[in-house]
Amino acid sequence: MIGTLLLTLSLFSQTLDVPQLTTDPEVVGQGKTIALYLRFSQSLQKVEGFFLERIIPFYPIRRGSFDPEIRDPELVSGQGSGPSYTYRALIGIPIGTEPGSYSLRITLTRRENFNFQISDSIFQSSDSKILESSIEVVETPFEREKITIPRPKQNLLTSQALTEEAKIIGNILSKSRESQYWKGSFLQPIQGRISSPFGIYRIYNDGTASRPHRGVDIANLEGTPILAPNSGRVVLSRHLHFHGNTIIIDHGQGVYSLLNHLKRRFAHKGDRVKKGEKVGLVGETGLATGPHLHWGLSISEIRVDALEWTEREW
């Protein structure tokens, strides 16, 4: 479903001189992904959103770049009124976001030496224009489960390792490049039982509740081959105390797959991997109660439900 949002400049929406903003889907659930498409008659220097107190980068869709010399034929899709350019932002909705309507602000920056004149107020007095809109977040029903962590590994939860690992991973996930390495829908890296779905709240044996599960756990036999869910560059491949043997794949545009608890890692830092390529084997290294794969998907540092990306294309 594509929803058209009302822009403050909707008076001029019949011409492409006014940016057209659409979202897919129309409303978005907690822990899910929403894409914003901004279509405009001119190539822009920069498009940047601001949502839930975070900066949201927009990128030209498909390939190409903000360089006006690179014009992907797929970007030129004007409907009888000349060419248009489309910029896309992918937004992950944090699991804990309260349902409701949240404001969205998009700043469009035109090219400095750009020669265009339009009669309305866009770019009237400055090189930037701000569009105001909103996104509606709806509830996702997350499960709860009780788990018992084996004693020998329990001290990991309070150790410094967790903080240090979070820092290592966080540094990687904060980077975003314009290139899009993934193509089409994602593959589930292994088949098997979903032993712990995304967003589930865990209650530990001392009665305290954990934060929600930020990935999906898929259980299968130790040694089961793990496939790259989509193409990308391996940006981390190492052992971590809490996360176990870990591989992080950069799919571009701030989208990363995290694969944890591996028995073995075949892909190494710097490797280019293709969708479906074998990157490791299922194990139970780190904090794990049995052989399984924890698959996390991060979009601009927000963890989202990876399985949604196997069911549709972005």
Using rule CB under 5 A, residue 217 touches Zn ion: yes
Start-to-end C-alpha separation, the chain: 13
Which of these ranges, 16-24, 108-116, 135-143, 207-215, lies near Zn ion under the rule CB under 5 A? 207-215
Using rule CB under 5 A, residue 265 touches Zn ion: no
Question: Is residue 25 reached through a cis peptide bond, with omega within 30 degrees of 0 on the bond before it?
Answer: yes
Which of these ranges, 187-195, 217-225, 283-291, 298-306, lies near Zn ion under the rule CB under 5 A? 217-225
Which of these ranges, 7-15, 74-82, 139-147, 216-224, lies near Zn ion under the rule CB under 5 A? 216-224
CB 202 within 8 A of CB 195: no
Strand segments, DSSP code E, in 64-155 are 85-92, 100-109, 128-138, 144-146
CA angle, 80 as apex, 183 and 1 as ends, to 5°? 45
x/- letters, 91..130, toward Zn ion (CB under 5 A): ----------------------------------------
164 SS3 class: helix
Residue whose C-beta lies closest to Zn ion: 294
Which of these ranges, 42-50, 60-68, 139-147, 208-216, lies near Zn ion under the rule CB under 5 A? 208-216
How far apart CA 29 and CA 140 sit, in angstroms, is 5
Instruction: Select the residue interacting with Zn ion from 88, 129, 243, 294 (CB under 5 A).
Output: 294
| CB nearer Zn ion, residue 122 or residue 287 | 287
| CB nearer Zn ion, residue 68 or residue 197 | 197
From the list 16, 11, 70, 4, the residue with the least C-alpha distance to 40 is 16
Interface residues toward Zn ion, by CB under 5 A = 215, 217, 294
